[in-house]
Structure 1
């Protein structure tokens, strides 16, 4: 099972998502927790790599298991603030974009249960 750290960055009722350009779906920023890292440390590192900015990890929003085909992962989810005003992905296969939280039901966010967790948390 893979261990993933995900950040929920909210500004003005909008949440920051990353898009996998080759396939079109969106996901919450973050990535794999490396050996010896806590999820919080991994999340700060991943956001620095993806967006070239500093992040402050806040409230733990929960853990979410996700499985598809033969793949399984556990996502550690945190509220996060970033110091980047207009985030742009540093990775050529990804794009960054803001989405209104109330519109997440119509956005292809994966895993879907994570988007639902964020909507429930925001209310």
Structure 2
């Protein structure tokens, strides 16, 4: 089975809402919401991947911060290892390339979105923290 390492950014705004984006038609996991990011290239760190991917996919600048966590998910034909970092929004107007929508969601509302399976663990952790409960 093919294994892919992917980096995701958990970007929060001043109000504590988190940036999520919906995969557009024609993409793997189309119609599902995710924390933005992408495949880590050979020799690339997760932090560098986040900076590159958010620039390519959303045309925004972010500054990666501390590591938030890591989850693995088996999609049948591929196993994804998703590494998430908290990230600060540095600027730029969001223009979508691989997504058809984006939203700034309250952490407590994240589980109301049809999320990509690999992102669910992070959403649960963020929603639990918002409710005062850590998983």
Same fold, judged at TM 0.5 (above): yes
Moved >6 Å (runs of 4+): none
Q: Residue 63 of structure 2 corresponds to which residue in structure 1? A: 56
Question: In the alignment, is the contact (CA less than 8 A) between 2:57 and 2:98 conserved in 1?
Answer: no
Which of 113, 121, 124 is residue 107 of structure 1 equivalent to?
A: 113
Q: Residue 120 of structure 1 corresponds to which residue in structure 2? A: 128
- Bigger mean CA offset, 40-49 vs 78-87: 78-87
SS at match of 1:115: helix
Which of 15, 18, 25 is residue 15 of structure 1 equivalent to?
A: 18
Q: Which runs of 5+ in 2 are unaligned?
A: none
Q: Which runs of 5+ in 1 are unaligned?
A: none
Question: In the alignment, is the contact (CA less than 8 A) between 1:7 and 1:29 conserved in 2?
Answer: yes
Question: In the alignment, is the contact (CA less than 8 A) between 1:88 and 1:96 conserved in 2?
Answer: no
The Cα of 1:93 is off from its aligned counterpart by 4.5
The Cα of 1:57 is off from its aligned counterpart by 0.4
- Bigger mean CA offset, 106-115 vs 42-51: 106-115
Question: In the alignment, is the contact (CA less than 8 A) between 2:7 and 2:83 conserved in 1?
Answer: yes
Quickly say closer, same or farther: Cα 1:2–1:92, change in 2 above 3 A. Answer: closer
For 1:1-123, list aligned pairs within 5 A.
1-11=3-13, 12-22=15-25, 23-84=30-91, 86-89=93-96, 91=97, 93-111=99-117, 112-122=120-130, 123=132
SS at match of 1:83: strand
**RMSD of aligned alpha carbons:** 1.8
Question: In the alignment, is the contact (CA less than 8 A) between 2:61 and 2:92 conserved in 1?
Answer: no
What's the TM-score once normalised by structure 1's chain length?
Answer: 0.87
What's the TM-score once normalised by structure 2's chain length?
Answer: 0.80
